[in-house]
Amino acid sequence: MAVDTGERSDALDMGTSALPGRVLDIGVLRSLSRRSDAAGLLRAGVHVGLLALTATLVWLASGQWATLIPAMLVHGFVIVTMFAPMHECVHKTAFATPLLNELFGWFAGLVSFYNFHFYRYYHTWHHRYTQDPERDPELSDFKPESGWGYLAEVSGLHFWPLRPWRFLKLALGQTRGIPFVPESARGKIALSAGLQLAVYALAVGSIAAGRMEAWFGWFLPALLAQPCLRMITLAEHTGCTQGSDGLTNTRTTLTTFPIRLCMWNMPFHTEHHLYPSIPFHQLPQAHQELKSRLAHVVPGYVAAQREVLASFATTAAGGGPA
């Protein structure tokens, strides 16, 4: 299997957060930045295998609500965390072979209700301007500032209603005026989003025709499990400092193996933001190299949510983000 030495700059074109002096030695960084088709294909195979396994659990539980709901929650978690490989493919670090990043990234975005090609440009600016209130696109989306806002965000209230309209606008090429989308990318994004809409339309059509496989095997599980992904993504930056200091503007969460597995090690989020050239399978080692320098490290997502909620009180009191 191909292995990339990491010496190319395409995974670094998103920029890195500002560092107070060099944190990683360049030799260590070069070693950690080696991309691997073998590692990517193994993790992709595990994730797709989990999709098939949990879908089978849903099918076996059909008609038995006491077991169907838990089965759909587990299956839904595997579905919504397909966001993680899409994100990794956006960085071109899931695989050493570029085409594999393109193909699996689009598929993962389809499954998790994101558009891979639009997200690439959106996410580029997020990395370049992390926690910049004026330019980070994540901060221009809804960000909770209170307990009620937190509940609205975690429930998916600000996610699901926007999906159909966003995909439709992308498919129609309506990206003019979005500062991070270059004119040259409009056609590719439109084609990509149009193909996704066609797949979603076929799934909705099958439901309307009385075949409920897409409803119980895809849409409803994703709806039930979306709060899990929302809590994970909220933990990445909420309550951290605003500004470009990569050691303080992002949070790392030390979580359980199943979550690290399905999230492709993205809970090591500060490490990823400091050095986006480091692929998912090297992030645990990057954490060992960097952990003594990190400002925000929490022992799990319960602790992370406590910090997120506490940050609202700090902001309300006029103290700004923690």
Q: Where along the chain do its domains lie?
A: 33-316
In this predicted structure, the answer to whether residue 120 has a pLDDT above a threshold of 90 is yes
Determine the pLDDT at residue 121: 97
Backbone dihedral region for residue 113 (phi beyond 0: left; psi -120 to 50: alpha; all else: beta): left
Count Cβ atoms below 10 Å from residue 34 Cβ, excluding itself.
19
Summarize the confidence of residues 218-225 as an average pLDDT. 98
Rg (CA), the chain: 19
Q: CA dihedral in degrees (113, 10, 276, 231; nearest 10)?
A: -10
pLDDT digits (tens, 9 = 90+) for 165-202: 999 999 999 998 899 999 999 999 999 999 999 999 99
Residue 77 Cα to chain centre, angstroms: 13
Summarize the confidence of residues 204-213 as an average pLDDT. 97
CB 227 within 8 A of CB 118: no
* pTM, to two decimals: 0.92
Taking CA atoms, 22 is separated from 17, 212, 274, in Å, by: 12, 54, 11
Q: Are strands 35-36 and 3-4 parallel, antiparallel or unpaired?
A: antiparallel
Lowest mean pLDDT among 22-26, 128-132, 239-243, 246-250: 22-26
- CB neighbours of 111 closer than 8 A, spacing ≥ 6? 51, 79, 82, 218
Q: DSSP 3-state assignment of 19?
A: coil
Highest-confidence range of 2-6, 23-27, 240-244, 298-302, by mean pLDDT? 298-302
Q: Could you tell me the pLDDT band of residue 317, with boundaries at 50, 70 and 90?
A: low
Q: What does DSSP assign to residue 61? A: T
CB 251 within 8 A of CB 236: yes
Give the closest residue to 68 by CA, choosing from 53, 81, 54.
54
Spatial separation of the C-alpha atoms in residues 32 and 23, rounded to whole Å: 13
Q: What does DSSP assign to residue 191? A: H
The encoded tokens of residue 5 equal 């030495």
Phi, psi angles (nearest 5°) of residue 297: -130, 125
Lowest mean pLDDT among 137-151, 206-220, 226-240: 137-151
Amino acid type, 259: I
Widest distance between CA atoms in the chain: 61
CB 3 within 8 A of CB 34: yes
CB 183 within 8 A of CB 121: no
CB 2 within 8 A of CB 37: yes
Q: DSSP 3-state assignment of 18?
A: strand
Taking CA atoms, 307 is separated from 120, 247, 304, in Å, by: 29, 17, 5
